[in-house]
Structure 1
Amino acid sequence: MDLHAELKIALEAAAEPGRAAPMQAYMRDQFVFLGVAAPQRRLAARGLLAGLKGIDADVLLEHAQRLWQQPQREYQHVALDMLDMHWRQLGVDHIPALLGLARQRAWWDSVDGMAGIVGEVLQAEQRRGGDGHAHMDEALRHMDFWLRRIAMLHQLGWRADTDAGWLFDAALALAHEDAFFIRKAIGWALRDYARHAPAEVLAFATQHRQQLSPLSYREALKHQPP
């Protein structure tokens, strides 16, 4: 039995059909669900995904693509769980493939999950002396706003590794946009960096308050002292 057949059996066994409709409604009826809550999904798939340790990166991406094509949303989340578990097998050259996946069946849940994986790959690249923003300049200018969101969010959790100049420039580059998911991403990225450098974020947000949307500004300073 192959991986995908085993995952299907495991997920269907973990499904609670009564959860499916509320989960679908939460995602604005864009996707169908089996009815597997996130903790149960991870538990059901963990052992099978762990067996992929050391697998070739291209094969890993093929598995992700195959999972992404399944109609039930849980399979895309399993693909993200798999990539997150084995991100060390990926490199900068795989970023375009990851971004390509993110554009398929895109919504905030899968896009934000992919932003975290892209960020892990790029932070590791930066720590090796490479380009921590590889492909992100292009993503920041991409016609697909979901890729712009990934670019804005890719440094989440980097703390001292954060390139503040890049972050602030990206925030200003997207500040004119009306899309909620972009405005929210700007505020989230700034707020996350404020955990490491609150004074710098406060100074930036104050200086550029007229350029930032009220949502971005409010989110950026959400945890700042009054």
Structure 2
Amino acid sequence: MSFSSDLENSFRANANRELALPMENYMKNNFSFLGIKTEERRALMMQAYTINKKEVNANYREICWELFNKKEREFHICAIDLLQKEIKRKYVLEDISLIEKLLVTNSWWDSVDTIAKYLLGGYLVQFPGEIHKAIERFSNSENMWLNRSAILFQLSYKEKTDFDLLKSECDKHKNSKEFFIQKAIGWALRDYSRFNPNGVLEFVNSAKLKPLSQREAIRNIK
């Protein structure tokens, strides 16, 4: 057996259609679900991981991509969890290609936001020299999810956020009619306002953001 097959057998044995239906509705029916809740999904993944740890350690990139191409959403989220677990501080330069593929495949906010914050963000911490090239490409893309990722990738950077870069990305996309872009701008600014409220407020007052972005950005500023 292998990790992927062990995991799939375990997931399908524990599928619950009654739970799957509200999950699918919550995700606007963009994906099929098996109906496995978060805690159970993680426990089943760890069971398969423990049995197949050597294989996973050697092939986690390939396993992640294999899982991400399965039909049900639980596999996609499991793929992201697995990659986060294995790749932290062990990126190679070429991993930007895998990260980009994950961002544009089976895309929705739940996968994209985690990939952007932890995988893209972690990759660019390890390779800061790649920030300009990667973010410029993502930001200029016609793919809305890559645009969103370019805005959100610094969410885990906290006080180390490059505020000039964040402002540049927000300004660049501020006229977008996409809900997920407007929301990302507000979220990124609100998150950084914990460390620089005056800077964020000054930017919001001058940037002429969409109302949604503006409301989200200043929500926690007193």
TM-score normalised by the chain length of structure 1? 0.89
1:124 aligns with 2:115: no
Cα distance change on mapping 1:47 and 1:92 into 2, 3 Å: farther
CA distance in 1, matches of 2:34, 2:168: 41
- Say if 2:120 and 2:153, in contact at 8 Å, map to a contact too: yes
- Say if 2:49 and 2:56, in contact at 8 Å, map to a contact too: no
**2:98 corresponds to:** 97
Higher helix share: 2
1:44 aligns with 2:44: yes
**1:206 corresponds to:** 205
Cα drift, residue 132 of structure 1: 4.1
Within-5 A mapping of 1:166-205: 166-205=165-204
Q: What SS class does the counterpart of residue 48 from structure 2 fall into? A: helix
CA distance in 2, matches of 1:77, 1:220: 28
Cα distance change on mapping 1:29 and 1:54 into 2, 3 Å: closer
Structure 2 stretches lacking a partner, 5+ long: none
1:219 aligns with 2:216: yes
Q: What SS class does the counterpart of residue 137 from structure 1 fall into? A: helix
Cα distance change on mapping 1:86 and 1:52 into 2, 3 Å: farther
Cα drift, residue 48 of structure 1: 3.4
Counterpart code for 1:154 = F
Counterpart code for 1:180 = F
**2:61 corresponds to:** 61
Give the number of aligned pairs. Answer: 218
Within-5 A mapping of 1:147-166: 147-166=146-165
Cα distance change on mapping 1:54 and 1:22 into 2, 3 Å: closer
**2:72 corresponds to:** 72
Deviations 1:111-150 (A, max 9, x none): 1121121112212333xxx444551111011010110001
- Say if 1:18 and 1:35, in contact at 8 Å, map to a contact too: yes
Structure 1 stretches lacking a partner, 5+ long: none
Q: What SS class does the counterpart of residue 135 from structure 1 fall into? A: helix
TM-score normalised by the chain length of structure 2? 0.91
- Say if 2:103 and 2:112, in contact at 8 Å, map to a contact too: yes
Cα distance change on mapping 1:67 and 1:21 into 2, 3 Å: same
Query: Sequence identity of aligned pairs in percent?
Result: 32
1:35 aligns with 2:35: yes
Q: Which runs of 4+ in 1 moved over 6 A?
A: none
Cα drift, residue 6 of structure 1: 0.9
